[in-house]
Amino acid sequence: MTFLRRFAIRHGSLSRGLGALSPASLGAPGSVTLHRVGVEKLPSRGLPFTGHNDTHTSWLHTETPESVEVDLKRLDGEDTGIADVLMCRQKAKNALGRVFVSQMRELVSSLHHDTAVRVVVFRSLVQGVFCAALLPMPTVAAVDGFALGGGLELALACDLRTAANSAQMGLIETTRGLLPGAGGSQRLPRAVGFALAKELIFTGRRVDGQRAVDMGLVNRATEQNSDGDAAYREALSLAREILPQAPIAVRMAKEAMNRGMEVDITSGMAIERMCYARVIPTRDRQEGMAAFIEKRPPRYIGE
C-alpha cells in the first residue's frame, strides 16, 4: 500500500507519470488483442466486488468490463492458496494511471487480511509488458516482457522476481529527465548493491533476464516460450514451492527480514525474536513438530 500511495501522490495521472513506458515508444513489439472470458456483471457501481464465476476469477469495480485494469484470479485444486494479480490495461500498456493505481490499491487492500491467500503472483495480461505492493504474504513478479521505469519499480516492490531471458528491465527515468520516484532509487541498491544500482540508474541501462539474474535483480530467468508466459510459469513454480510451508511462519519470516533490513543488526535480532515469539503459540508450529516426530508431511492450516 505504501508504494501505491506514494506513486499516486507523486505521479498522478497517466499524462504526468512515467509509469511503464509504452512499448511503441521504446521499440517493443506491437500489442495484440486481449481476450478475456468469464466476465461477470457487477452488482453495483464503484464498489469492490468479490465473487467467483466458472473460471474462478474475481472482476473488480465499475460499470463495464472494459474499465477493469487490475484483476484477481484465485487458483484452485492443488494451487489453492495462490492468487494471480492480473494487470490488463491493454490500451496504455499497463502505464500507471490514476484508475490503474486506484484499482491496484483496492485489490491489495482486500488481499492484506485474506488468510486464505498464501502467495501472490503479479503478472501482465498485456503481451510484452509488465507493470506490487506491500502485502504480508510472499509476492512474486513475473516479467515476461518490458519492465521499464515504473514497471520495474513495481517488480522491485515484490519479494521475488522471475523473468524471461528476452525480458527488458531498467530504471530509465534519467533518459527522460527524471529520476526513479516510486521507490526504485531505494529498492534497486538493496537488490543489486549500491555501486551497480548507481551505474544502472545513472546510465538508464536496460538489462535482459539472464543479466538480471546474474546481478541478483531477479531470482530466476528462463527461455521464453511460444505462449509468451515463461516467466509466469516460473513464478507459479516458485509459488508452488512456498505453498506447502506454514503460512504464518512464512509471513513472520518476511516481516523479520523486511523490518530487519532497515535497522542495525542488534535491532534486527530483536525484531527476529519478536516475530519468532508470535509463531510459537500457533497450531501450525505444533503441527510441524508433530509431523517431524511422526515422520509425515505436515498439514498446515494457517492458525
- Just list the catalytic residues: 153, 173
Query: CA-to-CA distance for 16 and 221, rounded, in angstroms?
Result: 32
Contacts of 38 (CB under 8 A, 6+ apart): 53, 54, 55, 57
Q: Which three cell numbers stand for residue 229?
A: 508466459
Strands 82-87 and 146-148 turn out to be: unpaired
Q: What residue ranges in 145-293 does DSSP mark as E strands?
A: 146-148, 160-164, 168-170, 207-208, 220-222
**Which cell numbers hold the place of 28?**
517493443
**Residue 241 burial class via C-beta count within 10 angstroms: exposed 0-12, middle 13-18, buried 19 and up:** exposed
The CA distances from residue 302 to 245, 258, 298, in Å, are 10, 21, 12
At 215, is the secondary structure helix, strand, or coil?
coil
Report phi then psi at 214, rounded to 5. Answer: -65, -35
- For the packed helices 194-203 and 184-192, what is the interaxial angle rounded to 10 degrees? 130
